[in-house]
Amino acid sequence: MKSFVHRGQITKVVFGSGTRAGLGGEVEALGRGRALVLCTPGQTAQAREVRGILGALTAGVFDQAAAHTPVAVTGKAVDAARAADADCLVSVGGGSTIGLGKAVALRTGLPHLALPTTYAGSEMTPILGETQGGVKTTRRLPEVLLDTVVYDVDLTLTLPPHVAAVSGLNAMAHAVESLYAQDGDPLAFLTAGEALDALAVALPAILRDPADTEARATALYGAWLAGTCLGTVGMALHHKVCHVLGGSFDLPHAQTHAVVLPHVIAYNAPAAEAAMARIGRALPGPDPAGAFFDFAGGIGAPRALRDLGMPESGIAEAADLVVRDGYWNPRPVHRDAVRDLLRRAWAGEPPSRAASDRSYDPTGARHA
Ligand code: NAD
């Protein structure tokens, strides 16, 4: 008999093409009329367009969102919101911009709307990662859940195909870890499986034809589903490894997810049979880890952490950090197994077949 707890979402979601035209109505539906638009320095053109759509509902634009949500930038954005007498926030961008919006919303209590332009999924989660003094802390805070998310596929058309590929793999990582989450529930499992199906079809199609709006829409749909899973159930070894690598070596977020995912799937395979069967439906192949490795390579994703700038000397340090804080994973996490996994990911080797064996003993493991 099934037994589970499911947490529902409170965020209003509008999805389609051209949906940004209705943004003003969404601001007004929240009873607001002075939006501070947030973006990165690279997305000021999109922010200007949104400002035009909002017209008199715009209080100003803050264009300094940065990776890893530095608290110093958040402080400036809070000052900008107060100076402009803003009564709501509109984030136009990926995880970096939406992270800033969450951080400002937490400090000001302002309602937060977003127009996501990548597949990172932050808009659907109560997770806030912030950086201060080089240290990144991540918290789950219901207060940072967004009020409204307007997905407009048109805004994703400028995402270069190689960025779409790694961003999509980042979304697939949320889905994979939701399939075997400790607090997983039937809805999350169904949602994660649908996300994998959508992204498995859409990402290669975007690489073949970057102007394929149907594929772009399918990828964004998959990203919404994957983000929803990330927001409702807990993650495991994969997200822990990527968090450590991003925090310690400043590796790029989506690319790191793309490299690490097949290796964690290999390690977790014997402890997550239902998840592996579902991954196999989305990505058929002899084994899910190998299928993911081939899929990621096929859409041009990086395969080696060394190519992302990680020093080989960092492998042992990263393994120590991954196992330092106790956290849940379907298969118990052993330092030597993590070191082995990281060494393969660093070198760009295929995921270990030996690690997928129930009898795998990482303390004496030879590399398969
Ligand atoms: P990002 O927001 O940093 O965007 C990457 C770059 O692409 C930026 O320069 C951005 O301006 C540009 N860009 C974004 N969309 C574009 C588009 N449509 N066209 C052209 N350029 C575009 O990257 P990301 O991968 O979306 O987010 C990564 C960050 O989000 C990390 O800091 C990560 O920790 C965080 N994140 C948080 C959560 C959460 O739930 N809190 C979830 C996922 C990611």
Q: Which residue has the tokens 């490795």?
A: 293
At 132, is the secondary structure helix, strand, or coil?
Answer: strand
- Specify the pLDDT at position 363: 65
State the DSSP H helix or E strand holding residue 217, giving kind and residue range, or none if neither: helix 213-232
Pocket residue to mutate for ligand 1, from 9, 39, 43, most atoms within 8 A of Cβ: 43
d(CA 95, CA 116) in angstroms, rounded, equals: 8
Q: Is the CB of 40 under 6 A from ligand 1?
A: yes
Classify each residue of 147-158 as buried b or exposed e, where b means 16 or more C-beta atoms within 10 Å of its C-beta.
Answer: bbbbbbbbbbbe
Distance from residue 40's CA to the centre of ligand 1 (Å): 9
Q: What is the pLDDT of residue 365?
A: 44
CA distance 95 to 253: 10
Answer yes or no: are the C-beta atoms of 123 and 228 closer than 8 Å: no
Report the pLDDT value the prediction gives residue 326, as an integer from 0 to 100.
Answer: 81
Q: Which atom of ligand 1 is the closest one to the Cα of 156?
A: 18
Q: Which residues in the chain come in under a pLDDT of 70?
A: 362-368
Rounded to two decimals, the pTM is 0.95
